[in-house]
Structure 1
């Protein structure tokens, strides 16, 4: 039955965006809405405007040291794209919210019949979106933790000794150079500087992960609708008596999802181009930083985790875009599988028109320059050859844990 469809398939994306100050709480209570608005304004002004500007100024202080300069450029590009995504959300967020509403609408729900189980398909794709959204958020936390936990523990567990009743000179470096409005030459002020720097970093993580996983999950559920449409076309005669009425419903459903794909591509393609350009630059420069850092140092592992996180981000863009293309390409075959032999001429015409329309591939693109596919990922990414295999292992392990949890 249609009630097999789970609701609120974007719940994890809404939660991440809410932590970033980009999605209002569902309650109308003023005691919740007013503090949240204040929080959202503070995050936008302090993190996306003020702190991003200071990161740009920091580039002028580190240009004489190649390692620090490259590292600062990478962080600035990452956070600058995060600020761009926040601004994009303010201007185009309503389009994404409308697309989410269309994909979650019960208008095109189908009853289960035989091997066609749309509710199970829906739950499968919800699980995929949930898994990769939380996986990306976890990787972002790992990246930041690998940079900020070691210096925090160093200062807390091994404070500088006292000499003549005062603390000896303190020269601990921050995880990366950024302009500070105060000196941090003592353990107390250093911990304050660490928090001053880490706070915006975690805020950037939630806004970047929230916007990226929302884009990915919208593509994920576009692919889910194409999979459901495959089954709906192929099982038409098994499920209903009026084949013409069902064909019209399926065609209207297909046209709606094609329009959602076109709207998402139209509104997001240039943001995708900017993100992938920045990500490729960061991946290449991260390889350089890793090659110049001793393998036994803390910086080596911090840079490695950061590079893997950026590669994972690029991979998810391409993987979910590839799923949309693949699932859409299977629709004509399943239209043909419908038992159309004894149907009237109107049904056969609709079938031919649908199959002809779907001969044109459906692509999400990088600013109209290249399609978002796994082939593109392999061509352009330094991690293109081994990251897909690593994520396949992650996918199988996650499925095993999910089955054990259900048992």
Structure 2
């Protein structure tokens, strides 16, 4: 049943990005129809108002440290969600150009029926599917946990239930946000809860679609660098193949253009992701620290600890996905020129060898993704963020002692 559903997500026009493009369309982040365009934008605007209401509530409860930290942990994540949605909406043409390049290149390569290239494409497509579906499952689990956490907290604490019955405590909330009516009882509570549930689903949809699309395209660049390396290695066969000058120049030119367009579109992807990831890296550093403090606070109940632990795991998983796959692209871009020197270059004349040297020099240009203008997006950055968050946590812990 599940496999049949997943098969329906495939699109021959988008060999790699079929499921993600379909998810973007159904999520209102890939718009064509004018009527749907208006309705989807209305949803995005309502989500923006919800984030504003979270900041208003944060200002109101700023003196209560425990409530403020819980509000802040979700408000920051909501801010990133809206920022990601705006990125996809405002720069949709750039995203479309990038996705069209990915799909057109793969269709062109698959049509040549080269078994080596087809195997590389098949391998990274399968890997991308596993990452996408597992990440969607993680985001779904996080959304469900956030929505059900207040219910579990209520059921797990008899004292809290008694406090609610006698009116000394409000009903538990999914998220802390300001409303112009009393949301602690009756219809006001039901309306605020419904609004917060829809906001959770909206945020989960945006995060799942944006992150999976970005990570899958990073996987594409890693796979295509492998294809380029293999093509460079096979430029002149095993050395016994007779390759005339025109054919050799044609093959070198194809490798040159392949790398040129990868560098060009990786720059497009970086320009789209860098502002978002810069904001996310800052927020993630703060939220990992805040979540760790909440986990070790004595007043935090067991169900709250489970909710915070799952939320913390989702934060780290998002950051890890970006850093890991960006690091893979950088690693492959640094070794792609090995294919030139592994080829049968010695079988060619001096003119071809000079062209090969130029090609090898061009292939040494690395493909790097950044989080803003200050840091590279790689595993070293990931480890540095975790170390920094731990340092902030130990500082706060000592202050509390």
TM-score band by shorter chain is 0.7 to 0.9
SS at match of 1:236: coil
Residue 18 of structure 2 corresponds to which residue in structure 1? 11
| 1:21 to 2:28 alignment | yes
| 1:376 to 2:356 alignment | no
Maintained 8 Å contact 1:321/1:363 = yes
Q: Deviations over 1:155-208 (max 9, x none)?
A: 8999xxxxxxxx985842113322234434556654443222110111012112
Residue 285 of structure 1 corresponds to which residue in structure 2? 290
- TM (normalized to structure 1)? 0.80
Distance in 1 (CA, whole Å) between partners of 2:388 and 2:229 is: 33
Residue 263 of structure 1 corresponds to which residue in structure 2? 268
**Where do residues 85-124 of structure 1 align in structure 2 (5 Å cutoff)?**
85-106=84-105, 109=109, 111=112, 117-124=116-123
Gaps of 5+ in 2: 1-11, 158-164, 391-401
Give the Å deviation of 1:70. 1.2
Q: Deviations over 1:300-339 (max 9, x none)?
A: 0111111110101111111111011111112111111111
Give the Å deviation of 1:85. 2.0
Maintained 8 Å contact 1:52/1:76 = yes
**Pairing partner for 1:302 from 294, 300, 307:** 307
Which one is further off, 200-209 or 145-154? Answer: 145-154
Residue 46 of structure 1 corresponds to which residue in structure 2? 46
Report the RMSD for the aligned CA atoms in angstroms.
3.0
Structure 1 175/54 Cα, relative in aligned 2: closer, same or farther at 3 Å? same
Distance in 2 (CA, whole Å) between partners of 1:6 and 1:124 is: 18
Residue 173 of structure 1 corresponds to which residue in structure 2? 172
Residue 203 of structure 1 corresponds to which residue in structure 2? 202
**Pairing partner for 1:338 from 340, 343, 368:** 343
**Where do residues 141-180 of structure 1 align in structure 2 (5 Å cutoff)?**
141-152=140-151, 171-180=170-179
Q: Deviations over 1:206-259 (max 9, x none)?
A: 112222222222211111110111111112333984333212111111111111
Give the Å deviation of 1:41. 2.3
> How many residues are matched?
364
**Where do residues 65-104 of structure 1 align in structure 2 (5 Å cutoff)?**
65-104=64-103
Q: Deviations over 1:12-67 (max 9, x none)?
A: 22233234311137xxxxxxx4553343022112112x111111101122212111
Distance in 1 (CA, whole Å) between partners of 2:14 and 2:84 is: 27
Give the Å deviation of 1:355. 1.6
Distance in 1 (CA, whole Å) between partners of 2:191 and 2:127 is: 39
**Where do residues 133-144 of structure 1 align in structure 2 (5 Å cutoff)?**
133-144=132-143
Structure 1 138/72 Cα, relative in aligned 2: closer, same or farther at 3 Å? same
Q: Deviations over 1:123-146 (max 9, x none)?
A: 222222222223222222212212
Distance in 1 (CA, whole Å) between partners of 2:113 and 2:235 is: 11
Distance in 2 (CA, whole Å) between partners of 1:236 and 1:384 is: 48
Gaps of 5+ in 1: 26-32, 159-166, 386-407
Distance in 2 (CA, whole Å) between partners of 1:277 and 1:24 is: 30
Distance in 1 (CA, whole Å) between partners of 2:174 and 2:273 is: 33
SS at match of 1:300: helix
Residue 274 of structure 1 corresponds to which residue in structure 2? 279
Distance in 1 (CA, whole Å) between partners of 2:92 and 2:36 is: 18
Distance in 1 (CA, whole Å) between partners of 2:306 and 2:74 is: 16
Distance in 2 (CA, whole Å) between partners of 1:171 and 1:258 is: 55
- TM (normalized to structure 2)? 0.81
| 1:126 to 2:125 alignment | yes
Q: Deviations over 1:76-99 (max 9, x none)?
A: 111112212222223222112211
SS at match of 2:203: helix
**Where do residues 350-389 of structure 1 align in structure 2 (5 Å cutoff)?**
350-382=355-387
Maintained 8 Å contact 1:55/1:179 = yes
